[in-house]
């Protein structure tokens, strides 16, 4: 490595600074390689497991009213299902599966909530279109999905015609299809990270029936 004697007696300092700059560049380059891996590992480690205490969360429903998970502690079991996007094919099958079984879930003392990155107004359209009797919650920034360890991708938008009128349904994030059951005492007793849209309700209900 060549040093330039710009100032007498300063060659050592310049050499050290050159090494420091080169090291900093190397670390910066390595961060591009390892940062995605670190984020992936962090997300995996933080994923909620059976037996864990469920995180508290508060989200707006389709009317803009706040829904708080703590309100059901020691009162009701809560089934939480995350789905990618309102008014899409797979997600419509999923919410309809819960609507078909809604009376059975009620008889078991359950509060059912579906969570996506959609705006509340999207959820209002979705709920009305499918005549849903349970709440849909808006997790626009994905904070609640992250609390549960649910993987999320970027948001987006879709165009839908409803009764002859075109709507643009925007969402802040796109969550994976995961389902959880939280006991009255606030513990996670069921987790399905590979939920099937059409059979999600039946799969979860079979688990409860076998307890």
From residue 163, give the alpha-carbon distance in Å to each of 75, 122, 129, 188: 39, 15, 10, 40
**Catalytic: 40?**
no
From residue 80, give the alpha-carbon distance in Å to each of 47, 112, 114, 121, 137: 15, 6, 6, 20, 10
Residue of 91, 123, 150, 197 with catalytic role: 91
Q: Is 187 left (phi over 0), alpha (psi -120 to 50) or beta?
A: beta
Q: Is 3 left (phi over 0), alpha (psi -120 to 50) or beta?
A: beta
Tell me the catalytic residues: 91
């Amino acid at each position: 490595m060549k040093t330039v004697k710009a100032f007498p007696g300063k060659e050592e300092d310049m050499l050290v600074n050159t090494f420091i700059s080169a090291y900093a560049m190397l670390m910066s380059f390595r961060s591009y390689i390892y940062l995605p891996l670190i984020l992936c590992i962090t997300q995996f480690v933080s994923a909620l497991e059976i037996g864990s205490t469920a995180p508290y969360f508060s989200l707006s429903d389709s009317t803009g009213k706040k829904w708080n998970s703590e309100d059901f502690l020691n009162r009701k079991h809560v089934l939480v299902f995350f789905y990618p996007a309102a008014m899409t094919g797979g997600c419509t099958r999923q919410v309809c599966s819960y609507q078909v079984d809604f009376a059975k879930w009620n008889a078991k003392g359950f509060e059912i909530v579906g969570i996506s990155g959609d705006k509340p107004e999207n959820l209002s359209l979705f709920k009305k279109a499918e005549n849903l009797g349970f709440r849909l919650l808006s997790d626009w920034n994905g904070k609640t999905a992250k609390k549960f360890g649910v993987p999320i991708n970027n948001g987006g938008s879709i165009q839908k015609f409803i009764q002859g009128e075109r709507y643009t349904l925007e969402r802040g994030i796109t969550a994976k299809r995961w389902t959880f059951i939280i006991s009255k005492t606030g513990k996670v007793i069921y987790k399905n990270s590979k939920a099937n849209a059409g059979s999600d309700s039946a799969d979860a209900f079979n688990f409860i029936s076998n307890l």
